[in-house]
Amino acid sequence: MTEFENAMKKVADMVHAAARKSGEILENTKISYNISSERDKIAKIERKIGSQFYKIFKDGGEVPEFIKGDLEAINAIEEKIRQLEKTISDSKPYKFCTDCGSKLELSDIYCAKCGAKQHDNAEPQEDDKCDEAESCCDDCCDDENKDDKCD
């Protein structure tokens, strides 16, 4: 064999080795992806199981003792989230519906409670207690908007 033929054989062997290695890498990548996909399925089922236990716990049902602490921690976190959301909500300026008196955001064009179109001249309100009688809140505030301002 000539030097040229030897060199060509070496190049061909290297190309075949590289192709074989690329094929192995590709196959391993596919397998790794499939493993990851299967692990994601397990994680999704685990979250579903956890959600089901949490629902049972919130509804007052019996749950295994070893997870009660975690479920109570979730309750505490959800309460903190509600308080933070209320802080944001309380800091937003608002107005009242010109028809039924429900609390609205300044950008609301229609009242979510009665559907009345709002007028642009509605003034933002201060966070004071209701000026009207206690029955005011039964007439104008829905349960979501009732708070300590409506005493």
**pLDDT tens per residue across span 21-65:** 999 999 999 999 999 999 999 999 999 999 999 999 999 999 999
Q: Based on the fold, state whether residues 71 and 142 are members of the same structural domain.
A: no
Q: Based on the fold, state whether residues 49 and 112 are members of the same structural domain.
A: no
Indicate the pTM of the whole model: 0.47
Domain boundary among 60, 88, 116: 88
DSSP H helices, the chain, are 3-58, 65-91, 135-140
How many residues comprise the chain?
Answer: 151
Domain boundary among 50, 67, 88: 88
**pLDDT tens per residue across span 96-114:** 898 998 988 888 999 999 9
Query: What is the residue range of 32's domain?
Result: 3-88
DSSP bridge pairs for 103: 96
How does DSSP assign 13-33, residue by residue? HHHHHHHHHHHHHHHHHHHHH
